């Protein structure tokens, strides 16, 4: 396991760069999100290509999206980088990232969904701790769209801190395990397998390290969850996983249909019948319609479901520099 590169804490009055590495956001939603962030005391800077329309569904062409991301990392006046929305497009940027410039300018990078590819590659290539976190148009534009407690703990340096049943966490299999928390959006994470940008947590000829795997998605049917998990297992990716935490599944089932949720949980447990570690589900991070929880990726955590009625995911170290 490489030495982690931790960004600086997010201080009151920090300046946030607003970028769109993937798809075009709705301008009115971006403005609503900016107003919410500024009401929290942050300064914001909307980057030149963040609202671009096209080509296709992208927020500008690859060069424009890359230019904004690079400029935000390089600018010493920017304290953190937050994405407007996900969609599709971040993976196009991976071969063109200026990794040495980013290494020299570590700062919090925040987003989820499609940005899983950036989280994964920045951790793999630099050891950079990033944040699976609320986005401007997707969450801060919503009333009560972000979870204040986890945002504060993750970005200001609380050590340790926990997520519990009040954050949606439920037990699927009891146990206790510790590891480096990795993961993100199931489809994006899994589709990196077999590419140079896949998470580097298992290699037969290299020392391996234990992980806690976090997975969530939207609009993914039970058989697709089954297929993606089987792919991860066949790729050797579960060999180092000590525990698995699934996100909130409400965006993957018919609204108000508990039978669908029960069926999906049965699919997950059947797929993971040979997996020995603890399993939890329901964590409200990523694609949610509730206050979105901020999860640091890359640092050590412990999942404890030994008391099935009181599951707890505890971060064992700070995600930012002391």
Please give the DSSP secondary-structure letter assigned to residue 129: -
Q: Is 113 a catalytic residue?
A: yes
* Catalytic one of 90, 113, 192, 318: 113
Options 117, 162, 192, 216, the catalytic residue: 216
Known catalytic residue at 259: no
- The span from the CA of 203 to the CA of 209, in Å, is 10
Which CA distances in Å does 235 have to 81, 102, 238, 243, 275?
A: 32, 29, 8, 17, 15
265 tagged catalytic: no
Structure tokens at 206: 């290299």
Q: Which of 70, 153, 287, 318 is catalytic?
A: 287
Rounded-to-integer distance, Cα 115 and Cα 70, Å: 15
C-alpha–C-alpha distance, residues 274 and 269, integer Å: 9
**Contact between 250 and 285 (Cβ < 8 Å):** no
d(CA 103, CA 5): 8
Angle between helices 222-234 and 258-271 (to 10 degrees): 20
Q: Six-digit token pair at 138?
A: 């997707």
**Residues 6 or more apart in contact with residue 258 via CB below 8 angstroms:** none
> What are residue 23's phi and psi, to 5 degrees?
-90, 165
Which residues are marked as active site? 113, 216, 287
């Amino acid at each position: 396991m490489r030495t982690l590169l931790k960004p600086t804490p997010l201080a009151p009055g920090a300046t946030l760069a607003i970028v769109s590495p993937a798809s075009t956001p709705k301008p009115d939603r971006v403005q609503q999100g900016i107003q919410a962030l500024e009401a929290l005391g942050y300064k914001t800077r909307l980057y030149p290509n963040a609202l671009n329309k096209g080509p296709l569904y992208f927020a500008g062409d690859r060069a424009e999206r890359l230019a904004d991301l690079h400029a935000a990392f390089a600018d010493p006046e920017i304290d953190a980088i937050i994405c407007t929305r996900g969609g599709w497009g971040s993976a196009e940027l991976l071969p063109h990232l200026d990794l040495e410039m980013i290494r020299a300018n570590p700062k919090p990078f925040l987003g989820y969904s499609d940005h899983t590819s950036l989280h994964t590659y920045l951790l793999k290539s630099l050891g950079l701790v990033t944040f699976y976190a609320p986005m401007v148009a997707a969450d801060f534009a919503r009333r009560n769209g972000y979870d204040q407690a986890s945002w504060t703990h993750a970005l200001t340096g609380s050590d340790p801190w926990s997520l519990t049943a009040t954050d949606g966490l439920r037990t699927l299999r009891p146990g206790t395990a510790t590891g480096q928390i990795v993961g993100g959006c199931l489809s994006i994470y899994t589709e990196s397998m077999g590419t140079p940008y896949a998470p580097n947590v298992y290699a037969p000829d290299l020392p391996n390290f234990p992980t806690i795997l976090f997975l969530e998605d939207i609009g993914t049917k039970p058989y697709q969850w089954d297929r993606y998990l089987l792919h991860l297992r066949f790729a050797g990716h579960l060999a180092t996983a000590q525990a698995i935490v699934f996100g909130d599944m409400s965006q993957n089932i018919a609204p108000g249909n508990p039978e669908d949720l029960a069926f999906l949980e049965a699919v997950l447990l059947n797929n993971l019948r040979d997996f020995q570690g603890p399993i939890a589900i329901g964590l409200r991070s990523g694609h949610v319609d509730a206050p979105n929880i901020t999860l640091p990726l890359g640092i050590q955590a412990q999942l404890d479901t030994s008391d099935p009625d009181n599951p707890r995911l505890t971060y064992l170290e700070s995600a930012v520099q002391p």
